[in-house]
Chain A
Amino acid sequence: MGTQESDIILIFISSALITVILASLVVVFVVVYQKRNVAQRLQLQELENSRQREMLQATIEGQERERKRLAKDLHDGIGSLLSGLKLNLSHQQRNPEISNDQATFLADACEMIQESISAVRAVSHNLLPATLESFGLVQALKECIEPLQKPPSFSIHLGISGEPLRLSHEAELGMLRVVQELLNNTIRHAQANQAGITLEFTSTNIQLLYIDNGIGFSPDDRQPGLGIKNIYSRIEALGGEINFKHQSANGFSVSIQIPLTSST
């Protein structure tokens, strides 16, 4: 009877053991399966993100390429031809054989052409400043700030620290557009009389700090405007980070970091 009992116990123990093992196997299987599922979903998400970033980059690039072509055609083509036209007409104006009426007509024509040249220049510069490509971000920033300076009602300070490097065209253009957008925002909405831009070049990244002393605003407060959306997508396309630091009565402040990669 002793052996029979111990047999039962043995059977009982071993079946319990097998059940436990089977149960834990099931648990392990479920956990592994779920983990893999999550990893797969993450991977998919990652893929989707990078696809979206690529699409964003492509859209921005396409847009900018078109702008560049337009800016160049306007500036070097139409601008040049208008200048040539003005030169010829003002040469005619000095011809002693023409009548007073004709001279007045030519003078007016020259003035109109000069205005067109200025307009072509301004449009072309807004589309893409020629300085950016030839001389880089810092010079282009200086040039874009200069006409906005209206002290004492509004002044902009630009500070550069570190060795200004030439970056990829996309990165330089992206940063320029972001600063333009921020300045635009300050001038239109902030009621500020000062803005400060600091650009710091380190070996690993570029940091942009932008502040103004206006009424401030929070991008979370309300639906973000097109300008702010543009800033986000520019920075995202460059793989950078953006932080609207605080939005209070003390003005507006934002910091942006762009990593320096081989492509930047």
Chain B
Amino acid sequence: MKSEIRIALADDHRLIRSGMKSILNSCSDFKVVQEAANGQELLDGLTEAKPDVILLDLEMPVLTGKEALEMIRKESEQIKVLILTMHQSKAFIVQMMELGANGYLVKDCDPEEVIAAIEKVYHHDYYFSEKVSLAMLGGITDPALKATAMLKSHGLNEREVEVLRLICEEKTTPEIGEALFLSPKTIEGYRKSLLEKSGVRNMAGLVLFAVKHGLVEV
């Protein structure tokens, strides 16, 4: 385990930020390093605060969470962004994942879930809650979506599909290497080519890609 995880909070309700802050700071691994009341404040403070993970609300004045996410992804793929919002509809979830969010949390979740999600995105690059998996499954049972997914064949070879399946099982690079009798370096290569071929931004996007193409069972 690495040193503490640096966290930024962006939400327009001060009380929600302070509540969240006290919950997160009670975990010894976490440190809240930035608080922002809107997307612009968040962007302005990023260089100085250098957070590892951002908890991002969507509905904020001045600059919304969606706009802030787009700006962040223009600059960096490294910062992990965890969406924390009241919206729980599929369309919002899928859109945020496609824009490069690493995970999606609905605001009325339990504190344990927030903590688990932060650890997951930090260590595994993505987090999907039960709700989100269900939402994506719902997307696949939608005949129109299924048809487009079938139409756009995924274009991956067998090995890449294997690696992708293991990524979806939250396996790390060395673990995948062990399972497939390959070196971690080779697996890194597969991760890169997977990102290139699927045209997504991060591992969260890859999981979404896998679900959309029916390569994994949710």
Contacts and interface: CB of A to CB of B under 8 A. Distances in A.
Interface stretch (B84-92, B198-206, B210-218): B84-92
Nearest to A139: B91
Contacts of A80: 11, 13, 16, 57, 59, 86, 107
A89 to B, nearest CB: 9
Interface of A: 72, 75-76, 79-88, 90-91, 94, 114, 117, 121, 129-131, 134-135, 139, 142-143, 146, 160
A76 B86 contact: yes
A114 B108 contact: yes
7 contacts: A79-B86, A79-B107, A80-B59, A81-B13, A82-B108, A88-B22, A139-B91
A90 B110 contact: yes
Contact of B108 (A91, A117, A134, A135): A117
Contacts of B91: 131, 134-135, 139, 143
A84 to B, nearest CB: 4
Report the interface size class on chain B. Answer: 20 to 34
Given A76-B59, A134-B92, 7 more contacts: A76-B86, A84-B20, A88-B19, A91-B26, A91-B111, A143-B90, A160-B144
Contacts of B138: 146
The 7 closest A-B pairs by CB, nearest first: A84-B16, A83-B107, A88-B19, A76-B59, A83-B108, A135-B91, A91-B111
Contacts of A139: 91
A79 B84 CA distance: 13
Nearest to A81: B13
Interface in B1-46: 11, 13, 15-16, 19-20, 22-23, 26
B130 interface: no
B158 interface: no
Given A84-B13, A143-B91, A91 B107 contact: no
A121 B109 CA distance: 14
* Interface SS of A by simple majority: helix
Given A81-B15, A142-B142, A143-B91, A86 B86 contact: no
A86 to B, nearest CB: 6
Interface in B86-124: 86-92, 95, 107-111, 114
Contacts of A84: 13, 15-16, 19-20, 107
Given A80-B16, A84-B13, A84-B19, A143 B111 contact: no
Contacts of B142: 142
A84 B12 CA distance: 12
Contacts of B95: 134-135
Contacts of A134: 91-92, 95
B23 A91 contact: yes
A114 B108 CA distance: 7
Contacts of B111: 87, 90-91, 94
Contacts of B114: 87
Nearest to A117: B108
B89 A87 contact: no
A90 B20 CA distance: 12
Contacts of A160: 144
A80 B111 CA distance: 15
Contacts of A82: 108
Contact of A87 (B23, B57, B86, B144): B23
Contacts of B23: 87-88, 91
A80 B108 CA distance: 8
A160 B144 CA distance: 9
A130 B89 contact: yes
A81 B22 CA distance: 16
Contacts of B92: 130-131, 134
B70 to A, nearest CB: 14
B116 to A, nearest CB: 14
A134 B88 CA distance: 13
Interface string B46-70: 0000000000010100000000000
A86 B108 contact: yes
